[in-house]
Amino acid sequence: MATPDPAATSCRLEFSVQMTCESCVEAVREALRGLAGVRVLDVRLDSQTVLVEASVAAEQVRERLEASGRRAVLRGMGGPAAGERAGGPGGPGGPVAAAVAALRGPGAVWGLLRFVQVSPQRCLVEGTVDGLQPGPHGLHVHEFGDLSDACDSCGDHFNPDGERHGGPQDEHRHVGDLGNIWADATGRATFRLEDSRLKVWDIIGRSVVVDAGEDDLGRGSHPLSAVTGNSGPRLACGVVARAAGLFENPKRLCTCDGLTLWDERDRERPPGQPAPHL
């Protein structure tokens, strides 16, 4: 597993964790104690919640929590100074925007992406996509959240400034240009990106698409290089929906079907479909 970048932007993650006694609390603290890039801020037995500040992916923290033998569900995400317990869901700059997108396609590719706006200038994008061919795959935010014709109806890359296609670090690029994610030998891509152009409030209701091939970042000789990065067919896509920020999700029981938070976590659902509380 890669060593966390000490310069990486951190965010706060709120988990529900099944804890029944003080021994559970200590086991949770011990499970997270050795995880680089994670600082435990609060563990509360009465509300079964764990609050951490992390510069690693939320899924990595969840896996470590569950390694303690207790089920864990991510309830909310926020910026590094947002949502103090005494102050409610908003930090000094107001509520922090968070979003989620479940990716799926006609084939075997599926995944889950999360977005959190940690500051006006910095958006974190993290996720896991399974079923890919090993190697690089283009990842983009598209202009429409229309899945009526699978990923073909998502429109072009989100490009409100009328720019040419480029890479995430380029001055001239589409706002939706997120570069490439890399799938390992098992077909899984796990990633955590930081972007200075993307704003969560601008992409709610739009879509995210993962492509079959590598995005050439606008540097290739193909005619599509300056348009799409020539990254090939669209494999999977999902609509970007608002997600709960810190302390914005008190739900314990689903009103639609009466299932508890833990029942929802364990119930099988189509690949890539997030639990309703995300």
Instruction: Supply the pLDDT for residue 77.
Output: 85
DSSP bridge partners of 189:
129
Higher pLDDT, 151 or 121: 151
26: helix, strand or coil: helix
Are 139 and 151 spatial neighbours (Cβ–Cβ below 8 Å)? no
185-209: average pLDDT? 95
Instruction: Supply the pLDDT for residue 75.
Output: 87
Instruction: Supply the pLDDT for residue 118.
Output: 86
Question: Considering only CA atoms, which of 246, 277, 242 is closest in space to residue 88?
Answer: 246
pLDDT averaged over every residue in the chain: 84
Residue 223, pLDDT above cutoff 50: yes
Under the banding of pLDDT at 50, 70 and 90, the label for residue 249 is low
Higher pLDDT, 250 or 217: 217
Instruction: Please tell me the chain's helix, strand, coil percentages from 3-state DSSP, rounded to the nearest 5.
Output: 10, 35, 55
Instruction: Supply the pLDDT for residue 119.
Output: 85
Instruction: Supply the pLDDT for residue 262.
Output: 47
Residue 165, pLDDT above cutoff 60: yes
Instruction: Supply the pLDDT for residue 120.
Output: 85
Under the banding of pLDDT at 50, 70 and 90, the label for residue 7 is low
96-242: which CATH topology? Immunoglobulin-like (2.60.40)
Q: Provide, rounded to the nearest whole percent, the portion of the chain with pLDDT above 70.
A: 79
DSSP bridge partners of 139:
210
Domain ranges of the chain: 11-93+244-266, 96-242
Which pLDDT tens digit goes with each residue over 78-105?
A: 877 654 332 333 343 444 488 999 999 8
Under the banding of pLDDT at 50, 70 and 90, the label for residue 259 is very low
44-61: average pLDDT? 92
Instruction: Supply the pLDDT for residue 271.
Output: 47
> What separation in angstroms does the CA of 136 have from each of 63, 150, 191, 261?
25, 22, 12, 35
b/e burial code for range 193-204 (CB count within 10 A of at least 16 → b)? bbbebbbbebbb
Residue 228, pLDDT above cutoff 80: yes
Please determine whether the domains at 11-93+244-266 and 96-242 fall in the same fold group of CATH: no
Residue 38, pLDDT above cutoff 60: yes
Instruction: Supply the pLDDT for residue 180.
Output: 98
Q: Which of 136-140, 224-228, 242-246 has the lowest mean pLDDT?
A: 242-246
Tell me the pTM: 0.79
Residue 253, pLDDT above cutoff 60: no
164-177: average pLDDT? 96
Q: Which of 9-23, 48-62, 89-103 has the lowest mean pLDDT?
A: 89-103
Longest dimension (CA), the chain: 62
Q: Which of 34-48, 62-76, 131-145, 234-248 has the lowest mean pLDDT?
A: 234-248
11-93+244-266: which CATH topology? Alpha-Beta Plaits (3.30.70)
Please name the helix (run of DSSP H) or strand (run of DSSP E) that holds residue 261, with its range, or none. helix 261-266
